[in-house]
Amino acid sequence: MTSAVSFKQVSRHFGSVRAVDAVDLEIAPGEFFAMLGPSGSGKTTCLRLIAGFEQPTAGSISIFGERAEGVPPYRRNVNTVFQDYALFPHLNVLDNVAYGLMVKGVGKASRLKAAEEALSLVRLPGYGARRPGQLSGGQRQRVALARALVNQPKVLLLDEPLGALDLKLRENMQEELKSLQKALGITFVFVTHDQGEALSMADRVAVFNDGRIMQVGTPEDIYQRPNTRFVADFVGSSNVLPPDFVQRYSGQHRWGSLRPESIRVSSATSGDGVAARLVGTNYLGATTRLAFDAEGLRLHAVVPAGTALPAEGGAVMLTFNRDSLHLMDEPA
């Protein structure tokens, strides 16, 4: 099966800056794919390489088996939802949505009909006559989505699509995007720096750092079995354990990771476990996040709200299941 998007040793350098460095990537057709990483990690450049706004310095990109290097954005069957939506202020909503069909020469009646259908798809029927300036942020986002989808792209690119929305709207849009993607069966590639968003929406996630992909996998893979210290730390803030520490519990001299929620806290002062001192508590609503100091090693644990807690500075014993200690591939 041909991949929807395929990167082979793709690099994009800006002078001495390696924004994207020798990246290999295969995105399957119909997949909801997330590119996750901190700012400046190369994820947005990768998106712009797929859209055609950037050309690779080296390597090859293909979209559904067709070579993409040198093909301008307007000849790619790929559409983008921009971070700032980039709606055209001089056109009303309907003409905005119909723009792609208009420049392709589709007749007025049929393109406006298609645009109206796309607006119903994003649940904004009847908003066609308004100007983008009269819409709220969430509505503009939907218009941008409709404007991209009306062209029936093979791949839809979303650049931090929910970044500008408030929390409530963001949660609604997450569900809606996901069900839209399922219904349409279009390959979605979206860029985000929010690990929660990536984990909850995507079928697979690629974690970027310094222009390289650190790990590609299902959200569960990435979360439960990070392969490097960076992934463990960036995705859900795992405890990264140094090789010496790991050796005591697993017998192997390797870097390990331990999810904060798999640590149990007991106030016993002796017995099996890691002796530690509570140095900070962070109330998060449903859970409480605790910071411990274990002989110089900083460990975090997440416990359900309402758990009896020792006083700050108090000595505790931390225990965890051996199975939940994950050994990483990164060399010690």
Contact positions vs other proteins (CB under 8 A): 51-53, 72-75, 78-80, 82-84, 86-90, 99-100, 102-104, 131-133, 147-148, 151
* Measured distance CA(277)–CA(310) in Å, rounded: 9
Least CB distance to other proteins at residue 87 (A): 6
Of the pair 148, 186, the CB lying nearest other proteins is at 148
**DSSP letter assigned to residue 89:** T
Least CB distance to other proteins at residue 77 (A): 9
* Measured distance CA(141)–CA(275) in Å, rounded: 50
* Measured distance CA(30)–CA(180) in Å, rounded: 12
* Measured distance CA(327)–CA(239) in Å, rounded: 12
Least CB distance to other proteins at residue 94 (A): 14
Of the pair 89, 331, the CB lying nearest other proteins is at 89
* Measured distance CA(99)–CA(105) in Å, rounded: 10
Q: Which residues pair with 289 in a beta bridge?
A: 282, 302
Least CB distance to other proteins at residue 235 (A): 29
Of the pair 63, 148, the CB lying nearest other proteins is at 148
Least CB distance to other proteins at residue 4 (A): 17
Of the pair 84, 312, the CB lying nearest other proteins is at 84
Of the pair 55, 83, the CB lying nearest other proteins is at 83
Token couple for 325: 């200690």
Least CB distance to other proteins at residue 13 (A): 16
Of the pair 132, 260, the CB lying nearest other proteins is at 132
* Measured distance CA(230)–CA(214) in Å, rounded: 8
Measured CA to CA in angstroms, residue 288 lies from 20, 146, 244, 307 at distances of 38, 41, 28, 9
SS3 262: helix
